[in-house]
Chain A
Amino acid sequence: MAARVIEAPATPEEKLRDWTKPAAMAIPKEGYVSVKNGRYGPIYPRTPACHGFTIIAKIKPGREDAIRSYGKTIEKAITDIPDVLETLKLHYLRWVLFDIGQDTYFMYQGIFDTDFDKYTEDAVALFKKVGVNTVFENLEGFPEDWKTNVPAFVKFLREHQCPSFLEYGEYPYATADEIKKALQLKAKFSEMLDLMQ
């Protein structure tokens, strides 16, 4: 099946979203095909690979171990309460540490289904609710008052967001909830077939 390239994710195009046709989207350098304003600034487009961000920021000196141990913290939180991040409507998170010269950088990639602004608001609320601090506290320039200053949190993320210039989806625009429903449906059908034996 030929991949479909969408140059402009205008609303009428979005309405033609078809998960059966793999799709790619080339994105201009600015990160937007056309500027649509969201509550905290321009909205990054929903692409065949859904919403998401790639945050890259320099870490504070000596914080590498703290960041790595934070991976364990999240792992335990999910083990204890599997749906603890449910409100964020995530597909995937990828955290990477890498060096440039003498400095260490942190890359935080997330793929999710809400828009950027809602994700960030929900994330701040969630971190406060479950009583965890954020890994971002180990990054240079992160606002110390993030718990009471959501706009400052959002501003930090926007300033450190590196927009993709290409995104691809093998099953474009499908949300995590839709995928979970499809898998549930498959399981239920299997169960139904078992019951019919």
Chain B
Amino acid sequence: MAIYSPSLPKSLGRGLLKAEPGSLEFEDIQHFLIHRSPALAARYEFLTFREPAAGRAWLGAMTEKVTTAAAVRSGQLDTRWVTVALSWNGMRGLGLDDHSLASFPEEFRQGMATRAEVLGLTGRNHPEHWKSGLASADLHAIVILFARDVPERERCRVEHEKFLLQCQGVEVLSSLDLEAIPPFDYAHEHFGYRDRLSQPAIEGTGEEPMPGSGPAIKAGEFVLGYPDEEGPSAGGPKPEMLSRNGSYIAYLMMEEHVGAFRDFLRQHGETHDEQELVAAKLIGRWRSGAPLVLTPEKDDPELAGDYQRTNDFDYGKMDPHGYGCPLGAHIRRMNPRDTAANMNRRKMIRRGGTYGAPLPEDAPEDGRERGIAAFVGCASLVRQFEFAMNVWANDPSFHELGNERDPIVGTQDGSFDMTIPKRPIRNKIKRLPAFTTIRGGAYFFLPGIKALRYLASLT
């Protein structure tokens, strides 16, 4: 999952990014999946359209506020970045015709709540427990505001609030404020794990893949209307205007039970070093971000932050049995690298941030909600996001493990295990507790700018 980082994205840090010949229509693509914004605060607003005309008026005005990929690439230093996305019900609520609505893929038409079982969202993760109206058919749109800092976010919040007063018929179902958590020297989440270390580079953006990440991925894996890893794009929503430069995003709001997590570490490690090793084994990286495959015995924070080295490893040759990184560790499940087939068709772009106040070290669980609210962007929810959740996160038989799920994003109910390979005898942690709970989620379509204008001008 991705967390805010104060560091400038590589694009801005280097200044103007050079467009490659035949590359993407950056002026028509929302920046969201193409370039990360250097935000320290954010706000997500979930909206419903009570009147189609009001929804279209709102969308028309908001489209002009959306930050394009071209704007970020130009090197201009913005203080806020706006993204707008729509649910299938939202496009219906704007008055899109039945033929077009039917041209969207089935999983998107159904929505995340209906697909809960596929995603392993059962037990306390089930949509019946979700709040904020996310499981409701009334959820029509999301505005994702990334802001340079909290005052800028508040300024934008007030501005949008004022604008909504002029749009009778568009209502906020719920909202979520997000802020980066200290220390701010690198992006991390509430458990303390460094994040944003492994993201695919998109071909045509000029971004160089990190060593060990393989070549840049065809843009069609993330943006509709471009060739993907298997050839020309096909089967996008109709009319073509809608699919050109659009993407799908899956939203997940995941509460992190920091107290339970720390208790677990204390139960399974007597010393600080032992606890850090258990934490590392769950994820596959030390909390600093250093990968266990490269440094299995002790942490190496310098390696963690060295982008030339921190991703430069495989599993099949360097750690086939999982003595460094366990076979069921989070990063080995969610990106099996060389040990899974068709990896280039399963890549995803992650965005998002942390919400809730951090739990101070050594403080007991305070019962306050905190976690990650993140997005996964892709060209096919069923092939990319749903596959990752269904097979990599929640299939107990993954890598022949038999009775395990992803220790962080898998659905845990206290009945699964975690095997930590170790010579001479492996360590099996029985009945792993749930460290997280999914509090909400939704599928959205992230249209291109022209498609947003088309939707706003429906009659």
Contact = CB atoms under 8 A, between A and B. Distances in A.
A binds B: yes
Interface of A: 12, 14-15, 17, 36-40, 87, 113-115, 118, 121-122, 125-126, 128, 145, 147-151, 175, 177-178
Interface stretch (B12-20, B280-288, B383-391): B383-391
Contacts of A177: 400
B176 interface: no
B234 A39 contact: no
Contacts of A126: 341
Contact of B383 (A121, A128, A147): A121
Contacts of B105: 151
A36 B396 CA distance: 15
B457 interface: no
A175 B234 contact: no
B426 to A, nearest CB: 14
B263 interface: no
Nearest to B342: A125
A38 B342 contact: no
A45 B118 CA distance: 14
B297 interface: no
B382 interface: yes
B360 interface: no
B404 to A, nearest CB: 11
Contacts of B79: none
Interface residues of B, number: 27
B365 interface: no
B335 interface: no
A178 B402 CA distance: 11
Contact of A175 (B235, B387, B400): B400
Contacts, number: 55
A115 B402 CA distance: 14
A122 B341 contact: yes
A113 B390 CA distance: 15
Contacts of B230: 125, 128, 147-148
Interface of B: 105-107, 115, 117-118, 230-232, 234-235, 341-342, 345, 382-383, 386-387, 390-391, 395-397, 400, 402-403, 415
B118 A39 contact: yes
Given A15-B403, A150-B383, A36 B117 contact: yes
A113 B395 CA distance: 12
A148 B400 contact: no
B397 A38 contact: no
Nearest to A125: B342
Contacts of B106: 151
Contacts of A37: 115, 117-118
A87 B341 contact: yes
Contacts of A14: 396
A36 to B, nearest CB: 6
23 contacts: A15-B403, A15-B415, A37-B117, A37-B118, A38-B118, A39-B107, A39-B382, A39-B387, A87-B341, A114-B391, A115-B391, A115-B395, A121-B342, A125-B341, A125-B342, A126-B341, A128-B230, A148-B231, A148-B234, A149-B234, A149-B235, A151-B105, A178-B400
A38 B390 contact: yes
A12 B416 CA distance: 11
Nearest to B346: A121
B387 A118 contact: yes
Contacts of A17: 402
Contact of A87 (B231, B342, B400, B403): B342
B380 to A, nearest CB: 9
Contact of B397 (A12, A113, A125, A151): A113
6 A-B pairs with least C-beta separation: A87-B341, A148-B234, A37-B117, A125-B342, A39-B386, A39-B382
B420 to A, nearest CB: 19
A17 B106 CA distance: 34
A114 B115 CA distance: 20
